[in-house]
Structure formats: structure tokens, C-alpha cells
Amino acid sequence: MMDRVAIIDDDKGLTKTLSDLLKENGYKPLVYNDGRSALKAIPRYNPDVILLDLKLPDTDGFKLYHKIIDYDPGAKIIILSAFGSVETGMEAAKLGAFDFIEKPFSEEKILLTIKNAIAQSKLESEIIQLKKESLARYNMVGVSKPMATVFKLIDKAASSHAPVLILGESGVGKDLASRAIHSHSRIDGKFVKINCAAIPAELVESELFGYEPGAFTDARKQKRGKIEIAEGGTLFLDEIGDMSIHTQAKLLRFLEEGEFERLGSTRSLKVKTRIIAATNKKIEKEIKQDRFREDLYYRLNVIRIEIPPLRERPQDIPVL
């Protein structure tokens, strides 16, 4: 399909010359000699690029520009004028026009500008499509190479039952990544989350493994732990870097043997629960400072997903 270029200019000699030039170069020209006919036709034909003269018989070019942008905010408009000035060019740039070209202009210049405008328009369309696809599949937005890598790793993790370790600063989307892995995995169980930083360290163990009556002062009845509730599904351990060394040891045993005991019980329970862990801490530093078990790290680090902060992927800023 040929790219469509609208020419809005009352100079019929110029529009004929431009129309012939565009046809020779593989474009479909759409010619309008006044603002009214152009404004009526543009919503119907959706041109890829618009060449807009500022002096029209029935309206001012800048006024028409605003009306076109109201209809299509992403329209690529190249403003033409035989009365070029620094002020006019600055006004065109301020409005967001793709370019401003003074008459008379060379064929090479107008063709190159049109080519660049179409290229940018197609790139923007691709970005919008990628945004829709990533949002629909992962509930996350990103079109940069780093995020493409993250999405590939999410798909890899979803096709496996192996533990996953998600690393990244607060707010980068670790929770969303864990949910995307779960939702695309071939499992029927629940997605269960524990925020290890939001629970007092001494209570994380009972939340994780559950307890029997009498296990501690307020344990009046049996309670299943999150690892048991998530059987057949996913347990997401958010901020695992805040988990105590004691609880880390018990989690390690579960990852190695697939079994655990509730607090106050000596009976081992076996469940198949997939573990996804995340932290905003520098995990290797935590290991060196003896705040995180190295053996647990290696058990969790089977599939590692590092989500970079937005400042390291500026390509994603426009689509957020």
C-alpha cells in the first residue's frame, strides 16, 4: 500500500508539481486547495504526511494545524511557507510540526523530509503496538532492549518449574513480573505473596510454614503456611533479602527436599510449590556480609531476572 501524502496549498501550479513528484517516487498524493476541503477529507483518508501551506484562501494555516491535531494528535505535518521567518519557524516548532520548509524548496529536500516523517510515524506505530502487546501479555510496559530481555526471561521462567530470582530497585515491576510468570505458567494453583520486609522477622517463619496449636503463646489453632496454601501454584517471596538467616535455612531445606514442618510439629509435609523470590538489595553484597546464605542464593538463582530502573532505559519513557 502506497504511503499517502496530503498537499494543502492554493497554488495549483505547485500542487501539480508536487503531485507529479510524489507519484514518481511511489507516494499517493491527496490534493486540497483550501482548508475546508482538507479538513473534511483528512479524517476519511488518514494521510501519512501532511504538507500544509500557511496562506490559504479560507483560513490561516496555523488555525488549520490545530484542527488537524485535535483530530489526530500524532499527525506528521510539514509546514510550507513562502513568507518564511525565524518567528514563523519557531512557531511551527513550538506547535510540534514535524518540520518547517521555506518556499521555494528543492525536490531532494521535500522528498527527504517526507521520507523522514513517514519513518518516524511508522516507528511510533510500532512502539504503540509493542506497548499494547507487552501490556496485554505481561501487564508491564517496555519497548527497550533491556525490557525485551526481561520479557524473554519471563516467558522462559513461565515454561519451567525452576525457582526464579528477580532483582531490581523498588518500583521497577518485580511484583508484576512474578505475576506474569505465574499467569503464563502451566499450573492451576494460586499465586500467593509474602512481603518479607512488611512482616516482623520473627513472624515470617510462621507465615511461611504455618504452625500447630501450642507452637507459641497465641497459637490456639492450626494454621497452614503460605507455602502450603500455594501448593500447585506460586509462592512469591518479595524482599527476600529481609528474611532472617534462621528462616532462610528452613526455606533452603524446602527448595532442596520439597518438604517442611509447621512450627510446633515434627511431621514433615511435602508440597509442590513454585518459588519466586525478589529483592531490591545487592544480593552478592548481602552474601559477603553474611546477611544472606550463599547456598540459598544458588538455589534461587536458577532463573535470574534483573529489571533495570527507568533511568537506564530512556527509550521506555515516552511509552509510559
16 and 33 in a single domain? The answer is yes
231 and 105 in a single domain? The answer is no
End position of a domain, from candidates 80, 107, 132: 132
End position of a domain, from candidates 76, 110, 132: 132
Domain count across the chain: 2
Full residue range of the structural domain in which residue 78 is found: 4-132
| CATH code of the domain containing 252 | 3.40.50.300
10 and 143 in a single domain? The answer is no
CB 313 within 8 A of CB 271: no
57 and 31 in a single domain? The answer is yes
244 and 273 in a single domain? The answer is yes
214 and 308 in a single domain? The answer is yes
* Tens digit of each residue's pLDDT, the chain (320 residues): 789 999 999 999 999 999 999 999 999 999 999 999 999 999 999 999 999 998 899 998 899 999 999 989 889 999 998 876 667 778 888 888 999 998 899 999 999 999 999 999 988 888 778 777 777 788 888 889 999 999 999 999 999 999 999 999 999 999 999 999 999 998 889 999 999 999 988 889 889 998 888 767 677 788 899 999 999 999 999 999 999 999 999 999 999 999 999 888 888 999 999 999 999 999 999 999 999 999 999 999 999 999 999 999 988 887 77
DSSP secondary structure letters along 141-210? ---SHHHHHHHHHHHHHHT--S-EEEE--TTSSHHHHHHHHHHTSS--S-EEEEETTTS-HHHHHHHHHE
| CATH code of the domain containing 91 | 3.40.50.2300
What does the block give as the cell for 318? 515516552
